[in-house]
Structure 1
Amino acid sequence: MDFQRILFDVSDHIATITINRPERLNATDDLTRTELGQAWARVREDSDIRVAIITGAGDRAFSAGQDIRATAQSGIRNKVPGSRLHHNVWKPVICALNGMVVGGGLHQVADADLIIAAEHAELIDTHLMVGNVFALEPTVLLRRMPLSMVMQLALMTKDGRISAQRGYEIGLINEVVPADRLQERAREIALAIAKLSPATVQASIKGMWASLDVGLHAAHDVAYRYVLQHQMTHPDYLEGMKAFAEKREPQWVVD
């Protein structure tokens, strides 16, 4: 796939999506969001891809969010955020934060399954500084971090930035690593996930995310539906247990 704003690579069943505008701190314009949507569609539809990593080029920024200069000049034509939940991707997604994340870049953080951050990475929101409502990103962030911390991002703007270490302490970020270990560590995790049953992993991820849409008792019903469907319809359910009992590597079905 030929892209102008992102890099897209697939190897060992892992897709790596890199927002590639380091000269603009990886800010996203209309074309970037369009290309991200195309990349997520490839991740969703390609059965060879089992895990995705999303990161940014360079070491200063993961993404500075919406390209304000481009928007000020021509407005926004593509309003669909370029993150996985908006494109119905249920394969595991690892967000590798190589630097600061600002504004709309928080979509990628909020929507990822696992978040690995370089020590110097930080979360910042500037929506209110430029007259934009900060509401879409928080719909998911509020399910992953305390309300007070989301309010800090929104109301304190640049002064409310959250460091990678603080993000780890509040449970948003899974691991904080030295910058020179970030991509290697993200890939280590991705390779381990890629060995699991693709169908089982995707059903588990979709079930967990779907449970966030409803209350506790309804969430149990949603989760149980995914469990039963997998047990009754997919051969990997029995294959995993047989392989364990027979002390061999499982032979997963790739749909």
Structure 2
Amino acid sequence: MELKRILFEVSEHVATITINRPERLNATDDLTRTELGIAWARVRDDPDIRVAIITGAGDRAFSAGQDVRATAESGIRNKVPGSRLHHNVWKPVICALNGMAVGGGLHQVADSDLIIAAEHAELIDTHLAVGNVFALEAAVLLRRMPLSMVMQLALMTKKGRISAQRAHEIGLINEVVPADRLQQRAREIALDIVKLSPATVQASIKAMWATLDVGLHAAHDVAYRYVLQHQLTHPDYREGMLAFAEKREPRWVVE
């Protein structure tokens, strides 16, 4: 299928997904969300892809969220958010936050494993300003940043915007870099992750996200099941230790 709203590239086991509507501040309409679903399915199902980077075209916006004009004219037909968690992608995802992330654009940010931001990037929510409930994005953000900061985004709308530096200070963003270093830095991290066991990485990511659904004691049980299953069933567990003992690079299984 020819993609019209996003760019999708794969190089050295890294897929780069770029929301490509700079003239609309990378706002997502029905077609954009459909194409993001296609891209995430490719990331999930293609064994050659080990890491994904999600970013936006240009330097003004990562994504302005839902295309309000398009929705006002025709309504929403595709209601599935185009983020990795909604498509069961457990390969590592890096968000290269190249500008403002607004409203529905926060899905991609909150649902990523690592977030690298340009210095001028910022988080904004406008759901309440247009009569929409701020809940889906908040459900994940509340697991990654303080309640007071999520309330600030929601209730103060545009005046409650959070800078990249502030988001870094509260632990949401991993690194803040100059804009001209953003894509390079995201790729550097991705290429380091590529060297790890794909199966072990995915099992670890899935286990960590799964533990957020339950309390502490149940989380320990969930985590242990993932650890035990990997140790008992996957050859990379033994291969990693053998490679360390034999002082050589591991030969990971790619499935």
Do they superpose with TM above 0.5? yes
Residue in structure 1 matched with residue 44 of structure 2 by the alignment: 44
Counterpart of 1:155?
155
Identical columns (%): 89
Match for residue 88 of structure 1?
A: 88
Is 1:170 the counterpart of 2:180? The answer is no
The match for 1:97 is: 97
Distance 1:128 1:151 in 2: 11
Query: Deviation per CA, 1:156-194, whole angstroms, max 9, x where unpaired?
Result: 000000000000000000000000000000000000000
**What runs of 5+ residues in structure 1 fail to find an aligned partner?**
none
Deviation at 1:126, TM superposition (A): 0.3
Map Cα deviations across residues 190-246 of structure 1 (whole Å, 9 max, x no partner). 000000000000000000000000010000000000000000000000000000111
Other-structure match for 1:113: 113
- Residues 1-255 of structure 1: pairs in structure 2 closer than 5 A: 1-255=1-255
**Separation of aligned partners in 2, 1:57 and 1:154:** 26
Counterpart AA for 2:213:
D
Following the alignment from structure 2 to structure 1, what is the Cα–Cα distance between the partners of residues 173 and 110?
A: 10
SS of the residue corresponding to residue 82 of structure 2 reads: coil
Moved over 2 A (4+): none
Please give the per-residue CA displacement for 1:140-159, whole angstroms capped at 9, x wherever unaligned: 00000000000000000000
TM-score, scaled relative to structure 1: 1.00
Distance 1:172 1:183 in 2: 19
Aligned counterparts of 2:6 and 2:37: Cα–Cα separation in 1: 11
Residue 35 of structure 1 deviates from its aligned partner by 0.1
SS of the aligned residue for 1:123 comes to strand
| Residue type at the aligned position of 2:77 | R
Aligned equivalents of 2:2, 2:47: Cα separation in 1: 20
Taking structure 2 as the reference length, the TM-score comes to 1.00
User: 1:2 Cα deviation (Å)?
Assistant: 2.0
Aligned residue identity for 1:253: V
Aligned residue type for 1:46? D
